[in-house]
Amino acid sequence: MRDEIDQVLISRTQIADRVAAVADRIVADLSTSAVTIPAIGNGVGELTLVPILTGSIIFVADLIRHLPLRMQLNMISVNSYPGTRTTTTGTPQIGELTNLPDSLVGRHVLVIDDILDSGKTMRLVIDQLRSRHPESLRSAVLLRKDRPQAAAVPIDYVCFDIPDEFVVGYGLDYNGYYRNHPEIVTLLPHIIEEDVT
């Protein structure tokens, strides 16, 4: 796998440091927003994390270890891309792996995604979550591409802004591969070209 990598954009050390720093900001913001943590787990006032599957799983796993808060995880899956390097085609739709509750009333919700590129997925998910009436709704992404569409979507927490390049690693894939690579990297051009031809 390493011999297919062109360039390391973000190292594992940079990722770890930045994820910890973003977690600190989230905790501080929730504290100043008077988030209450009830003694009995009725859900009201609690933090609900909503990772967008599948790309965000590694980011979420690392992030929650830095959040000393009472929380629940409710996953949402979105089907949007045909599996190749494109990020602009297709209309995103909520997938069947979603386990959102019908109501998020009283909950402080943080939706988490791996990368913001076209903005279509995040807009769809935020609309779905708002329709469930959470107490508050925040968003976090690991990466935001330097694209007008991405800049147009308000995001509360961005770990890294990156050039408009196709990247893999740390949860991001190309045709289902490379999610396990610990860094954010680009692939050698011939890897993608061979797959397209």
Active-site annotation, residues: 117
Q: What is the largest CA-CA distance in the chain?
A: 58
Stretch (H or E) spanning 113: strand 108-116
DSSP 134-169: -SEEEEEEEEEESSHHHHTS--SEEEEEE-S---BB
Is cis: bond before 84, omega within 30 of 0? no
For the chain, how are helix, strand and coil distributed in percent, rounded to 5? 30, 30, 45
CA distances from 60 to 84, 110, 141 (A): 23, 11, 10
